[in-house]
Amino acid sequence: MGKTVKIAEFVEHVADGSTLMIGGFMGVGSPRRLIDELVRQGRKDLHVIANDSARPGVGIGKLISARLVRRLVVSHIGTNPETQRQMLDGLLEVELVPQGTLAERIRAGGHGLGGVLTPTGVGTLVEEGKRTIDIEGRRFLLETPLRARYALVCARRADHIGNLTYALTARNLNPLMAMAADTVVAEPQEIVPVGVIAPDDVMTPAVIVDHLVAREQVHG
């Protein structure tokens, strides 16, 4: 595949059981066309790392409703009753991670760090099964890095070689996830000629973006 690909062509290469990082916050800044194609092709047993599972029929919520997700690592599921139901029914494994810790674990995965030390969760259920380290009289949890086979990110704009910019809250987690996956696929709202995006405005550099999802003409 080249850098610019058709959605169906890319998703055909995503195996069942793949680990995906999916950017966005409550569906804002999530790659909606990529999510729709995963649903259409029925990719199942997915392991998804994301901020949340949005709502039924919105963003990652579509994957949940289609029962395509086996394991979910998120900061909360409070806005998606379908996620809650599947978890309680034993159909979906959910790991809840404090939001700041989640972001730092993804950053650690992208920067090659061995883990993150945080006081968040000490003395709570979050601590169960984790190593603790005492530093100058304070106890910290050692949180392990997160990485994925694919990062699916949504960008406001890309140029033809893959430099990315993001808009407002759609920037949430997308740049971090682009650093923490083996293959990075960006779904931009528009693709512009090289040089239109000023170097100082680049938030994710082209060197780490493997594929851009092209906007496709729909006839009829």
Element (H, E) at 106: helix 99-111
Cβ atoms of 194 and 159 within 8 Å: the answer is yes
**What is the rounded distance in angstroms from the CA atom of residue 200 to the CA atom of residue 113?**
26
Give the fold, CATH level 3, of 4-115+146-213: Glutaconate Coenzyme A-transferase (3.40.1080)
Overall average pLDDT of the 86-91 stretch:
96
pTM: 0.93
Overall average pLDDT of the 120-144 stretch:
94
Identify each DSSP E strand in the chain by its residue range.
4-5, 19-22, 46-49, 69-74, 93-96, 116-118, 132-135, 138-143, 148-155, 157-159, 164-165, 181-188, 191-192, 211-213
Pairing of strands 69-74, 46-49: parallel
- pLDDT of 16 over the 80 cut: yes
Q: Is the dihedral of CA 27, 16, 41, 70 positive or negative?
A: negative
Phi-psi category of 188—alpha, beta or left, where left has phi over 0 and alpha has psi -120 to 50?
beta
- pLDDT of 216 over the 90 cut: no
pLDDT confidence tier of residue 220, bands split at 50, 70 and 90? very low
pLDDT confidence tier of residue 49, bands split at 50, 70 and 90? very high
Least confident of 58-67, 108-117, 168-177: 168-177
- pLDDT of 218 over the 60 cut: no
**What is the rounded distance in angstroms from the CA atom of residue 171 to the CA atom of residue 192?**
19
Comparing CA positions, the residue from 146, 161, 156 lying closest to residue 114 is 146
